Amino acid sequence: MNDKPVLLFDSGIGGLTVLREARVLMPERRFIYVADDAAFPYGDWEEEALRSRIVGLFGDLLAEHDPALCMIPCNTASTLVLGDLRATFPHMQFVGTVPAIKPAAERTQSGLVSVLATPGTVKRQYTRDLITQWATKCQVNLVGSVRLAALAETYMRHGFVEEEAVAAEIAPCFVERDGRRTDIVVLACTHYPFLANRMRKTAPWPVDWLDPAEAIARRALSLLPARSGDIPTGPDRAIFTRGEPDAATRSLIRGFGLAA
C-alpha cells in the first residue's frame, strides 16, 4: 500500500495549488492529477447530473489506479459529492475541500468575512451549515463568482489576465459597515490562489486571503501510512478527461513536474 499513488481530482487545473503543497509535505509520494476539463466549469451543471458524473468517474479512476488516498481540492465537488463518494467507495479515504469558514471566523478582527467561491459552492447547504456551525458571531458575505475560475485558467495557461475583470469579480467581497471593513476573504475555490497577486493589487484595501491548500495537504499526510522515504523516480502523471491537452496546458503541467 505504501507504494500506491495519491490521486488528486479537480474540475480543471486549480488543484495544482494543492498538489504544490502536497509535494512539499510528501516528497516521497507519487501523484496522479486528474482534471475533469471535459466538464469545466462545474458551476454550469445541475447538481444531480454532476453528482452522477463524478461518482462514475471515480469508479473508473479507482479501478485503474488503485490509489492510497484521494484528495479532492475542488470545493464545488467536495461540497456536493464527498458524502456520496465515501458511501459508494467505503474502502477508500477521501480528503475533501470545504470553505475555510472556521479559521476565518477565528481570525477576523472586524467580524466581516467574505467567502469568494463559485456559484455552486455559494448556494450549497453545506456551506451555509458551516456558517451556522462556526461563524454565528461574524457577518459572512457569500460571493459567487461566475468568471474567476476561468480567468485563473487563462492566466495559468497564457500568463495574462485583465486586471479590470479580476477587480470586478472580487469587488462584492469588500464591505464597509458601521466603521468596520471586511478583513478576511476566504478563497473557496482552488483556482483562485493563482490570481492572489492580481487580487491584492486590485483590492480596495488590504485583507487576509485564506488559501486552504496547506491544510488540505496536511490532512492527507495525517491519513497516509509512513513510507521509507525513498523519492519516486519519473514524473507524476496528469490525466485530462477531454483528452490530449493543448500546448499551453502541456507546458504548464510540465512546469509542475507532470507528464500528460
Per residue in 86-118, pLDDT (tens digit) is: 999 999 999 998 889 999 999 999 999 999 998
pLDDT of amino acid 185 = 98
Residue 175's contacts (CB-CB under 8 Å, 6 or more residues apart) are: 112, 114, 139, 141, 181, 182
Report the SS3 class of residue 7.
Answer: strand
Q: What is the pLDDT of residues 192-238, one digit of tens each?
A: 999 999 999 999 999 999 998 888 999 999 999 876 656 555 679 99
- Is residue 32 pLDDT above 70, yes or no? yes
Q: Is 217 helix (H, G, I), strand (E, B) or coil?
A: helix
Instruction: Provide the pLDDT for residue 55.
Output: 97
Residue whose cell numbers read 486586471: 163
- Catalytic-residue membership of 173: no
Give the whole-number percent of the chain exceeding pLDDT 90: 67
- Please report, for the chain, how many H helices and E strands are present, in that order: 11, 12
Mean pLDDT of 70-92: 93
Report the mean per-residue pLDDT for the chain. Answer: 91
Extract the runs of DSSP E, i.e. beta strands, from the chain. Answer: 6-10, 31-35, 69-71, 94-95, 112-117, 139-144, 176-177, 180-181, 184-187, 208-210, 236-240, 258-259
Q: Which domains does the chain have, with CATH numbers?
A: 6-97+214-259 (3.40.50.1860), 101-211 (3.40.50.1860)
The model's confidence at residue 1, banded by pLDDT at 50, 70 and 90, is: very low
User: Pick the catalytic residue: 70, 138, 173, 189?
Assistant: 189
Whether 138 is catalytic is: no
CB 155 within 8 A of CB 14: no
Among 70, 74, 138, 173, the one annotated catalytic: 74
CB 70 within 8 A of CB 12: no
Phi and psi, residue 64, nearest 5°: -80, -40
The answer to whether the CB of 14 falls within 8 A of the CB of 74 is yes
